Amino acid sequence: MEHEPILTMEKISKSFPGVVALSDVDFRVYPKEIVALVGENGAGKSTLIKILTGVYRKDSGRILMYGQEIEPRSPNEAFALGLTVIHQEFNLVPQMMVFENVFLGREMRKAGTTGNVFYALNKEQMRAETQRLLTQLGANFGPDAVVKDLGVAQQQLVEIAKALSLDARIIVMDEPTATLPQSDVEALFQVVRRLRDQGVSVVFITHRLEEVFEITERIVVLRDGKNAGELRTSEATMDKVIALMVGRTLDQMFPKQQVEIGEVVLSVRNLTRGKLVRNVSFDLRRGEILGFAGLVGAGRTETVRALFGIDPKDSGEILLKGRPVDLSSPRESVSSGVGLVPEDRKRQGLVLGMNVVENVSLATLDRLTRLLVVNSRAERAIAERFVDQLRIRTPSIRQLVKYLSGGNQQKVVLAKWLAVNPDVLILDEPTRGIDVGAKAEIHALMCEFAREGMGVILISSELPELMGMCDRILVMSKGTITGEFVRSEFDQEKIMARAVVNVK
Amino acid sequence: MGDNGKSLLQKLTGFREFMVLMAVIVLSIIIYAFNQNFLTPYNIQVIVRQVAIFGILGIAETAVIITGGIDLSPGSMLAFNGVMVGLLMMWGVDAPLAIAILLVLCIVIGLYHGAMITRLGLVPFIVTLGSLSIFRGIAVVSTQGYPIRIQNEFFLWIGQGLVLGIPVPLFILVAVALTMNYILNQTPLGRYIYAIGGNREAARLSGIPVRRVLTFVYVQATVLFGISAIILAARLGQGMPGVGIGYELNAIAAAIIGGTSMYGGIGTVLGTIIGATMMALIDNLLVLLRVEPWWSELIIGIVIVTAVTVDMVTTRKRLAD
């Protein structure tokens, strides 16, 4: 790492109306290295990368690659320069097959044909090359699989294969492990290391600091749009990195407190839907935080979707506060006092074109209505209360939520469900893709909810989170509950063992 | 819309409705320059009656398009409803009762649209396209192609009457506009309509009764088509099976020019009325210039494309920061 950097971003600044996103930021990438770019949501990581890859135009500063100044004005120009990004949101055409997506825009032609657009496609070669990449990544699907039939984790592998096939010099990975099950994460790391050895540098953006320590050599920290520090991974500690990210030390990651656990508020008996929810039964008590552990595809999300009425149930009984209820639609669930914070906040939790107030009141408008009129003053008061209580960072409550960062968007979704004041609150991956500071805040809030007597169900793919927050953990595998652990019995290996029970 | 330190002028020009209103004013000045007859009471009344009909049709479409759907039946419903109400009165039914029965019939048809769309999951485009054919067909079949004379004085007054020198249809338009505006802006139902258009999945997961709201939207559309049909039949003095051909395009155009987005989630009543006014003015301009009627379709088409393009370009510039 004493070499010259391949990439130098110097004194980069960028502003949007009302917001300074980046201010004099420096960022370098050296040859053959894996470097982490970390920071809270809103720190500027995405903006920096978007400037690098031509999505945004910088206001000032320089970008140099191999010593030459560059000005990528579009993603295609960036690709040509050897810069690729694998985003959190995929750029795949769901109706097409894997190999078609991998070679989208660069389709191979059959030998002997000419023309720019009207040539014969060399499908065999594209398939073969795609298969090679998929094997390298340890994928369990082939080049002919249709993307929309693949799970999120698998689709991500397609994105990675696409980037690999572009022969990049620098690959930026934006939260690549957010949706990958543990076994695939290991495979990904191996691929990343191999890429590094072959001369490709990787920029790793992640909120999972444990991963930073496992795979990266250098850590660059951004805070509030500025450089906050840079460390060799070997010399860094988790606390040091968090302190740089947040500007203060965090006392506790998982502030679990002792809460009195009351009577049973929710009883589920033999809930069944298709193959992913099979005879699921459990109880939930007031004040309890019940965790659902399992691999991606184990049926946890499907279970709560069936419970909440999003998908129709094949069979099963649900009792709320002792009384049988028929939660056949989200509307019924909400009016019965059940709330669900969904997995995908942008697609399922928010109306991005509406502002904070409108999103917060979305589930409780009927309560805010008198004689057919919405009480806007009450609505605003509630929104302001939650912005305050949840520390939602927004210039005003009339800000459209599409302009908020991921963590703040998630807080708006939480506020919406808090306004409902449910007896049971289900949270599906609530802290996915959220920075350390906001994460701790959301954890503290979960403890609040429990303390106020709510029964809380937490689905998470992060075992440390589950073990830190929950009173009890249920493990699911292929649609059935395969294990139950109370807090005193929590053990990472034992829980994982239950999670792979039905998997060959 | 936080405080970005924009001047009043900048803020105003950001409002789609304001821009279209300016276009309407400019157009009016141009027309007057060409032909002084533009501002005669008679001509203004003609324009007002035109705006009333297109305005009500447009307002109906606005709510539908906000939810991300579309209704292609207005033109045929004008014919069908006009014929139906004419037949009822011909069979001796009193005018007010005939109107009431017609509106109930519209509700039923709207419920049919709603059921096909929300229960069977059929695409609104197809369902209402079917209605476009079916209901015009019924109108033609039941009259064998001949118009039905309407002689009821009260009924004719609705389309031709004046109150304080102002055509009655204008009062009806204002009533419809105020009601729909109120619903869209002040009631939870209106909020649900925008939310469904903005993100149907999130709306559903938040407990919003999506099916019920969508059904309402299509019911209000057919009821408003019915009201518009009554005004038209009253003005013509006949229930004609041949009226309204192509009016669905005018209705949708009024909404789009007025700022309603085909992607859903955006649209206002005021904008649509201004859009309808613009279209009525263009029609009037062609008449006053004694341009042959077959040019109007071409010109309206060009206006629609221009309006939408200008909107897209200015919106993109605003969002490209």
Q: What is the CA radius of gyration of chain A?
A: 24
At A391 the pLDDT is 83
φ, ψ for residue B49, nearest 5 deg: -65, -40
The span from the CA of A245 to the CA of A263, in Å, is 41
Q: Is B321 a residue whose pLDDT tops 60?
A: no
Q: pLDDT tens digit string along A50-71?
A: 898 888 888 999 999 888 888 8
Chain A residue nearest residue B208, CA to CA: A331
Return the domain boundaries, chain B.
Answer: 49-306
More confident residue, B108 or B250: B108
B117: exposed, middle or buried (Cβ count in 10 Å: 0-12, 13-18, 19+):
buried
Mind listing the domains of chain A with CATH numbers?
A: 7-246 (3.40.50.300), 262-337+423-504 (3.40.50.300), 350-421 (no CATH)
Residue type at A110? K
ipTM of the complex in this document = 0.80
Chain B residue nearest residue A358, CA to CA: B191
At B319 the pLDDT is 52
Q: pLDDT tens digit string along B94-151?
A: 999 999 999 999 999 999 999 999 999 999 999 999 999 999 999 999 999 899 999 8
Chain B residues interacting with chain A (CB cutoff of 8 angstroms): 1-4, 186-189, 191-192, 194-195, 198-199, 201-209, 265-266, 321
Q: Is B58 a residue whose pLDDT tops 90?
A: yes
Q: Is B5 a residue whose pLDDT tops 50?
A: no
Q: How far is CA A504 from the centre of its chain?
A: 27
- Report chain B's mean pLDDT, rounded to a whole number: 88
At B3 the pLDDT is 42
At B216 the pLDDT is 97
φ, ψ for residue A16, nearest 5 deg: -120, 165
Q: Is B9 a residue whose pLDDT tops 70?
A: no
- Cα-Cα-Cα-Cα dihedral of B120, B122, B128, B131, to 10°? -50
Q: Is B85 a residue whose pLDDT tops 60?
A: yes
φ, ψ for residue A300, nearest 5 deg: -70, -50
Which residues of chain A does B204 touch, with a Cβ-Cβ cutoff of 8 Å? Answer: 310, 330
At B10 the pLDDT is 57
- For the structural domain made of B49-306, what CATH number should be given? 1.10.3470
Residue of B186, B201, B209 lying closest to A348 (CB–CB) = B201
The span from the CA of B99 to the CA of B113, in Å, is 21
Q: Which residue has the tokens 């399992």?
A: A294
Handedness of CA A260, A265, A268, A273 (dihedral sign): negative
Low-confidence ranges of chain A (pLDDT < 50): 1, 504
Chain B residue nearest residue A395, CA to CA: B2
Residue B267 Cα, gap to closest chain A Cα (Å)? 12
